[in-house]
Amino acid sequence: MAGSAHHVRGTASLGARRPAPYPIGLAAVLVTVGMLFAAFTAALLVRRTGTDWAPVALPPIVWVNTVILLISSGVVELARAAAGRSDSRRCARWLAVAGLLGVFFLAGQVTAWRLLALRGVFLPSNPHAAFFYVLSAVHAAHLLGGLAALGWTLSRTARGGYTAEHHAGLTHAAIYWHFVGGVWVFLLIVLSTL
């Protein structure tokens, strides 16, 4: 009886599946990044009550950038759909387009900073300007991480690394990309309405 209990216990432990590390790691990254931007938002909400708070009109290009980023999320979904059909060629093409749109977004952000500078609005100009520069720069750094994930995924796709049954890495990169896009929409709403 003791031997069979041990056997059952041993079998149960051999049959138990450990959670895959990537979803746990992705969840940790998303929570950490979410907390970072939540802290910035809380600081902005407190700081805007100061007497020196003067809203800065954001350049219209930030709205164009937002549309570009939202389109890139749709393109990532086209890549996932292609991977779901084991169509590596189309998946790679869509990933490259999504990455290019991400680069356009970053170039648009640099343009927004330059447009503000041409108006004489710099990081130390006032608290609202400082929050725009800092939040958009921190967001851009996280978007660069998303571009790295898309690049890694594109490389793996080009080597035939994804099939209809196995494309979790692409899904994880897509989740991060969509999250970073959602963070930008949130930040833009906060920055343009306060």
* Segment-wise mean pLDDT, segments of 10 residues, the chain, 194 residues: 48 57 86 96 94 94 98 98 95 98 98 98 95 97 97 94 88 96 96 85
Q: Is residue 12 part of a domain?
A: no
- Residue 189, classified by CB atoms within 10 Å of its CB into exposed (0-12), middle (13-18) or buried (19+), is exposed
Domain count, the chain: 1
Q: Rounded CA gap, 22 and 11, in Å?
A: 26
Q: pLDDT digit string (tens) for 113-157?
A: 999 999 999 999 999 999 999 999 999 999 999 999 999 999 999
Q: What is the pLDDT of residue 153?
A: 96
Q: Is residue 3 part of a domain?
A: no
- Residue 51, classified by CB atoms within 10 Å of its CB into exposed (0-12), middle (13-18) or buried (19+), is exposed
Find all residues with CB under 8 Å of 179, minimum gap 6, and list them.
Answer: 30, 33, 34
Q: Is residue 29 part of a domain?
A: yes
Q: Are 82 and 91 in contact (CB under 8 A)?
A: yes
Q: Rounded CA gap, 127 and 38, in Å?
A: 17
Range of the domain at 182: 21-193
* Phi-psi map region of 63: left, alpha, beta (phi>0 left; psi -120 to 50 alpha): alpha
Q: What is the pLDDT of residue 18?
A: 65
Q: What is the pLDDT of residue 129?
A: 96
Q: Is residue 162 part of a domain?
A: yes
Q: Is residue 9 part of a domain?
A: no
Q: CATH number for the domain including 171? A: 1.20.120.80
Instruction: Please give the model's pTM, rounded to 2 decimal places.
Output: 0.86
